[in-house]
Amino acid sequence: MSIVKEINKRRTFGIISHPDAGKTTLTEKLLLFGGAIKTAGAVKSNKIKDHAKSDFMEIEKQRGISVATSVMGFEYEGRKINLLDTPGHQDFAEDTYRTLTAVDSVVLVIDCVKGVEIQTEKLMEVCRMRNTPVIVFINKLDREGQDPYDLLDEIEEKLNIKVKPLSWPISMGKTFKGVYNIYKNNLLLFQASRRELKGDVVEIKNINDPLVDQYVGESYAKQLREDVNLIEGVYPAFEEKDYLSGEVAPVFFGSAVNNFGVKELLDCFIEIAPVPRERETEERVVKPDEEAFSGFIFKIHANMDPKHRNRIAFLRVCSGRFERNAPYHHVRLGKNIKFSNTTAFMAQDKEIIDEAFPGDIVGLYDTGNLKIGDTLSQGEGGMYKGIPSFSPEIFREVVNRDAMKTKQLEKGLVQLMEEGVAQLFTYEMGARKVIGTVGALQFEVIQHRLKHEYGATCDFLNMNLYKACWISSKDKKKLDEFVKSKYRHIAQDKDGRLVFMAETKAWLQMVQDNFPEIEFHFTSEF
Ligand code: G4P
């Protein structure tokens, strides 16, 4: 098969949601439809429940589960679908942000009872930064949820994206009848069933077809017609290009646990979701159908066996054909590397693969050569852009508890940071090491892993910091002057970039006012 055909077959996407909205359930149903798994219950939730926060076994389990279900590939209707899992727990949000750099589109799950929740807002911000196309699935229609119009308004307002409903619910909760599929012009009748994959679909001529009255009853049919008229008046006709540019999100309604509305979502997804797209390196835009292979690392996962520190690096193929055992150029290190142990991820199984195409994710066994953000290519020198670090929210200073194990501690910290567990900032003054994270849970993970994998022990001292801001200036002299005058508050990130550690919001504002020539950034990509 030609490379263009391979590319056109592929759809690489991620599902995002606030915990509990139904991401795991939807993932499982999609895999069932794709025939990748046979029974419900096979996909384990990778979320750590709140009560288990201090349970280290749970953390280990999380690591095990998340590697097994990190990427799930399956075939559906002649397409190769790569579904990238994102961690459910908000403390691992940074990992999710990075995974979003490796997908071409996103399905966003919203719980119709809870509406748009905080984690959804944050994740959507990341999608908006990159204009990632989004399809919304409003879930749990078998429950008494919020009014669908209110939900749509809330999505537009809070997520800063226009919506276009492609299906519409007929009632909700106890009296939920089904959905009218605007996109396909048919009626999908609801039957609560956690097992059956087949829902009843009624083909209708148009919304005025008497079959609608027959199946859902006159009063619901009347309401549906009014709603559909209203929707058509309020929302402009669906244009694929507006979805592909990330401006409009088509919306589907359903109930994942009841397999309801999932097939409709999937059928629309394979029609409209983007094929692997072109991507930018520091030097140029790379098209997926270029002959030369290129790709980047977006996730690193430590091996479960602490005695062997090999890791799996997740490579997103961006162009050309990836081949096992071929020598590829490691752009950051400026040397060639061969990978003989390469895995593809098909549902829950990992299997050795010999080749992969744009859109595919390949697991590379690595002994320490690869970092998140690294580019591999067939000779070319530009690094792929687009794996930003975001300012962490919690900061703690690392205090070594065992001077005899200083080396182990340093090595452990470097390796854990390379995996993206947290961010390390080293102060210019006194070389104090500060770890920044999105959630408190990572500190437990770090302490636990340092001890068990590196034999190092450390304490963490709370630090009252508001943000870490990457700093830059067009005027190098002014930047030097700023660094000098704020020496005590300047640190370097793991790549040696300068960061200003702001203690409070008000103080940061004051410093910004006093140094107008300095630019302060909340992400490392600017
Ligand atoms: P997450 O990955 O987004 O965190 O959510 P997950 O799929 O684990 O779903 C969270 C809970 O919501 C689960 O219940 C799941 O069964 C339920 N759920 C998912 N889809 C629907 C739906 O369409 N309707 C209803 N009523 N519930 C739904 P749980 O009690 O946490 O787990 P379980 O015991 O049911 O497995």
- Mutation test of ligand 1: which of 18, 24, 25, 188 has the most ligand atoms closer than 8 Å to its C-beta? 25
Could you identify the atom of ligand 1 that is nearest to the CA of residue 47?
Answer: 4
Residue 504 has a pLDDT of 95
Task: List the beta bridge partners of residue 299.
Answer: 314
**SS3 for 196?**
coil
Give, as one character, the DSSP assignment of residue 276. Answer: S
Contacts 24+ apart (CB under 8 A), 513-516: 515/478, 515/482
Q: Name the domain boundary from 272, 289, 309.
A: 272
* Same-domain pairing of 257 and 298: no
Which ligand 1 atom sits nearest the alpha carbon of residue 46?
A: 2
d(CA 520, CA 264): 45
Q: What is the CATH number of the domain that holds 357?
A: 3.40.50.300
Per-residue HEC secondary structure of 327-389 comes to: EEEECCCCEEEECCCEEEEECCEEEECCEECCCCEEEEEECCCCCCCCEEECCCCCCECCCCC
Alpha carbons 106 and 108: distance in angstroms, whole number: 6
Nearest protein Cα to ligand 1, atom 10? 20
Q: Please give the chain's pLDDT, 526 residues, in tens.
A: 689 999 999 999 999 998 889 998 999 899 888 877 766 665 655 554 444 444 555 665 565 555 555 788 888 999 999 999 887 667 777 788 888 999 999 999 999 999 998 888 888 988 988 899 999 999 999 999 999 999 999 999 999 999 999 999 999 999 998 999 988 888 888 876 655 556 677 778 888 888 888 888 899 999 999 999 999 999 999 999 999 999 999 999 999 998 889 989 999 999 999 999 999 998 899 999 999 999 999 988 876 565 566 788 999 999 999 999 999 999 999 999 998 888 776 544 556 778 999 999 998 988 888 988 999 999 887 888 877 788 888 999 999 988 899 999 999 998 888 888 899 999 988 889 999 998 888 888 889 889 988 999 999 999 999 999 999 999 999 999 999 999 999 999 988 999 999 999 999 999 999 999 999 998 877 6
Domain annotation covers residue 382: no
Residue showing tokens 């799950």: 109
186 and 121 in one domain?
Answer: yes
Q: For ligand 1, what atom is nearest to the CA of residue 27?
A: 7
Taking the CA of residue 26 as reference, the ligand 1 atom at the shortest distance is: 7
CA of 177 to the centre of ligand 1 (A): 20
CATH code at 469? 3.30.70.3280
- Do residues 15 and 149 both lie within one domain? yes
Q: Which atom of ligand 1 is nearest to the CA of 109?
A: 3
Determine the distance separating the centroid of ligand 1 and the alpha carbon of 299, expressed in angstroms: 27
Query: For residue 137, how far is its CA from the centre of ligand 1 (angstroms)?
Result: 14
Q: 313 with 261, same domain?
A: no
> Residue 388 falls within a domain, yes or no?
no
Q: How confident is the model at residue 354, as a pLDDT?
A: 85
How far is the centre of ligand 1, averaged over its atoms, from the C-alpha of 25 (Å)? 6
Distance 145 CA to ligand 1 centre (A): 15
Ligand 1 atom, smallest distance to 139 CA: 23
| Residue 351 domain flag | yes
Which of 329, 330, 321 has its CA nearest to residue 354?
321
* Centre of ligand 1 from the C-alpha of residue 507, in Å: 44
Tokens found for residue 190 = 């609801």
DSSP line for 481-513: HHHHHTGGGEEE-TTS-EEEEES-HHHHHHHHH
Residue of 15, 18, 162, 22 lying closest to 103 (CA atoms): 15
Same domain, 373 and 444: no
Question: 89 alpha carbon to ligand 1 midpoint, in Å?
Answer: 15
Q: Say if residue 253 is in the same domain as residue 283.
A: no
- Residue nearest (by alpha carbon) to ligand 1 atom 4: 20
Nearest CA to ligand 1 atom 31: 20
Q: Tell me, in angstroms, the distance from the centre of ligand 1 to residue 128's CA.
A: 27
Enter the DSSP assignment of 455. Answer: -
Helix (H) or strand (E) holding 297: strand 294-302
Determine the pLDDT at residue 307: 59
Give distance in angstroms: CA of 138 to centre of ligand 1. Answer: 13
pTM of the model as a whole: 0.86
Q: Are residues 235 and 111 in the same domain?
A: yes
User: Domain range for residue 401?
Assistant: 394-521
Last residue in a domain, options 239, 272, 305? 272
In a domain, 387, yes or no: no
User: How far apart (Å, rounded) are the C-alpha atoms in residues 98 and 85?
Assistant: 11
Query: What radius of gyration do the chain's Cα atoms show?
Result: 25
CA 9 to chain centre: 22
- Is 386 within the bounds of a domain? no
- Cα separation, 271 vs 33, in Å, equals 16
Provide the 3-class DSSP secondary structure of residue 164.
Answer: strand
303 burial via Cβ count (<10 Å: 0-12, 13-18, 19+): middle
- Which residues does 442 contact at the CB level (< 8 Å), separation at least 6? 91, 92, 421, 422, 435
CA 70 to centroid of ligand 1, rounded, Å: 19
In a domain, 142, yes or no: yes
Which residue shows structure tokens 């919203």?
Answer: 110
Question: How remote is the CA of residue 255 from the centroid of ligand 1, in Å?
Answer: 10
Structural domain includes residue 214? yes
Q: How far apart are CA 331 and CA 383, in angstroms?
A: 7
Q: What is the sign of the dihedral through the CA atoms of 320, 324, 327 and 332?
A: positive
Q: Using CA positions, which residue lies closest to atom 15 of ligand 1?
A: 22
* Domain co-membership, 13 together with 109: yes
CB atoms within 10 A of CB 201: 15
Tally of structural domains, the chain: 3
Residue 251 sits in the same domain as residue 320 = no
Nearest C-alpha neighbor of 251 from the set 173, 350, 347, 148? 148
Nearest CA to ligand 1 atom 35: 257
Work out which ligand 1 atom sits closest to the CA atom of 88: 4
Task: Say yes or no: 212 and 305 in one domain.
Answer: no
Task: Identify the pLDDT of residue 322.
Answer: 95
Q: Locate the ligand 1 atom nearest the alpha carbon of residue 17 and give its number.
A: 3
Domain co-membership, 156 together with 30: yes
Ligand 1 centroid to 141 CA: how many Å? 12
- Note whether residue 316 is domain-resident: yes
186 shares a domain with 82: yes
**Predicted pLDDT at 122:** 82
Which residues, judged by CB distance below 6 Å to any ligand atom, belong to the binding site of ligand 1? 17, 19-25, 45, 47, 88, 139-140, 142-143, 255-258
Atom of ligand 1 nearest to the CA of 254: 23
